[in-house]
Structure 1
Amino acid sequence: MRNVNSFNMYKTRTISITSGKGGVGKTTMVANLALALSQKGKKVLILDGDLGMANVDIFFGVKPQGNIHDILAGRKEMKDILTEVSKDVFLIPGGSGVVEFNHMNHFERRAMVEAISSLPLGFDYLLIDTAPGIAENVLFLNSAAQTVSVVITPDPSSFADAYALIKVLNKQYKVNHFAIICNQVRDEQEGLNLYQRFNDVVNRFLYIGLDYWGSVPTDVVLKKAVQQQRLIVRHDVGAESSKAIRQVCSQIERSSKQVESTGGMQMFWDQVVGFA
């Protein structure tokens, strides 16, 4: 097996995109952010970590030739399932019915590490699309990432469930810094107000830091793009929602300069498979 520490030669920023509940537009956000980053000359790897309902591939109009479960079962290698979904955007498909990462046995962990060691170097970003909620595999993926970004909406249940997710990650996994993306808002002002209310509530009960990464309005163009499973930053670059996503992308780039140079993709995977 190749020395997996070779990943440390290239620093990959690892970011989880997560939420307390479903229906907040998380996967749409991941796919569009990945494409927007690639349009800025970055090389992006997406891990579809929504293991029961993996669907990132649908937005790119591709059909993967396998998923993580095939690797754990020994049926395929990473090169067989790694899918280039767009120029400089690659996907590790999650599939469905995949064993939870934290329940892997020794042989499955070894298979995962060997598969990871075969990944090409040179990714600028690893974006992890998690399942919503506080299931163990969701917490595991989030806690292993350098940055946990939480998508919230004006829906009161989204607000409450996002708080619950942050509380569990803080108390159980010692995550003390998060980024917030406000989605499905009317405009930037509503998004900023939503963030400020959320920040006030969180900091009343938890000692953590929250960064505001921006807001994405749900305009008519975005609604239509989601219904048609199209990427708005590709097909409707002039839409307000498309501009907003690119602004979030710029915020990610700015925040990347502040992240410590330690960690990266290998540390993420080490923690996920329990080698850290």
Structure 2
Amino acid sequence: MKYNGLFQNSGTRTISITSGKGGVGKTTLTSNIALRLSQTGNKVLIFDGDLGMANVDILYGVKSDGNIHDVIMGEKSIHEVIVEVAKDVFLIPGGSGVLEFNNLNSFQRRAMIEAVGTLPQDFDYMLIDTAPGIADNVLYLNAAAQTISVVITPDPASLADSYALIKVLHQKYKENKFAIICNNVRDEAEGVGLYQRFNDVVNKFLYIGLDYWGSVPMDPVLRKATQLNRLIMRHDMTAESAKAIKNLSLQIENSSQKIVTKGGLQMFWEQVVGVA
């Protein structure tokens, strides 16, 4: 799915990047994966769906002039708030405060869909950085995406909360396939072991499929880059974490060759605001 300017909305791969609890590095991963996908010839749209703690723009060092809430309220057009944060990487800022998609009135729903319909039609990927947990907004964004990827860490609380998230999405939205990203591990071996243990527990109680997308180690270079609000894919491409993100992005591109069952960009937003 390389960018050639010819893809329509139905060709956009929508991927949520979510977690059961906060502090697992989800936003850092989303931002770095988006940059790497653009480096391999893709056009990427990020939706900062962590509506209470939106901070993707900070990692890219770009200040946005508005957010998705401004669009829904009719105060700005989506073209006024979307910002190109890097070459072929665009961001729809989530803003601050809580925005309940399920509380939108019919006018706001229509306004949202009409606004999204005016977006450029040639994105290869949209990455949705969700808030952690099982709030309604998080569930809506995940259920609307073609692929739900869950970030887990060795922290027992991360595993327990991620299991809870997967269980709710399975029971409430009939989701039965997820991708797993292991973060903050010592190395690939620990990541594989973490995935296998988590997979064993989940499949003991739920009849679902978990794909292993890869692991990203917590190395000193990544820690330093994050402290400086820098992306590791810009800071040091030779770092172990950067190599892991390259592999992770390649896995995402390879999985894009599989047949997807949900619609693309337009269908995602229609499902989120409840008109599909």
Tell me which interval the TM-score lies in, with the shorter structure as reference length.
Answer: over 0.9
Distance 1:229 1:137, change over 3 A: same
Residue-by-residue CA offset, 1:43-62 (whole Å, 9 max, x unaligned): 00000000011000000000
RMSD between aligned residues? 1.1
Q: What's 1:130 paired with?
A: 130
User: Structure 2: which 5+ residue stretches go unaligned?
Assistant: 1-6
Q: What's 1:86 paired with?
A: 86
Contact 2:236 2:242 in 1 (8 A): yes
Which residue identity is paired with 1:160?
A
Matches within 5 A, 1:21-170: 21-170=21-170
Provide TM-score, normalisation by structure 2: 0.96
Q: Distance in 2 between matches of 1:20 and 1:9?
A: 29
Q: What's 1:243 paired with?
A: 243
Which residue identity is paired with 2:215?
S
Q: What's 1:215 paired with?
A: 215
Q: What's 2:3 paired with?
A: none
Q: What's 1:190 paired with?
A: 190
Contact 2:8 2:121 in 1 (8 A): no
Q: What's 1:20 paired with?
A: 20
Percent of aligned pairs with the same residue?
A: 70
Q: What's 1:269 paired with?
A: 269
Structure 1 residue 259, shift from structure 2 partner: 3.1
User: Structure 1: which 5+ residue stretches go unaligned?
Assistant: 1-6
Contact 2:9 2:264 in 1 (8 A): no
Residue-by-residue CA offset, 1:64-103 (whole Å, 9 max, x unaligned): 0100111112110011001000000000000012421111
Q: What's 1:3 paired with?
A: none
Contact 2:10 2:263 in 1 (8 A): no
Contact 1:48 1:94 in 2 (8 A): yes
Q: Distance in 2 between matches of 1:156 and 1:253?
A: 30
Distance 1:242 1:102, change over 3 A: same
Q: Distance in 1 between matches of 2:59 and 2:163?
A: 28
Q: Distance in 2 between matches of 1:9 and 1:211?
A: 25
Q: Distance in 2 between matches of 1:38 and 1:127?
A: 12
Return structure 1 stretches of 4+ with deviation > 3 angstroms.
7-10
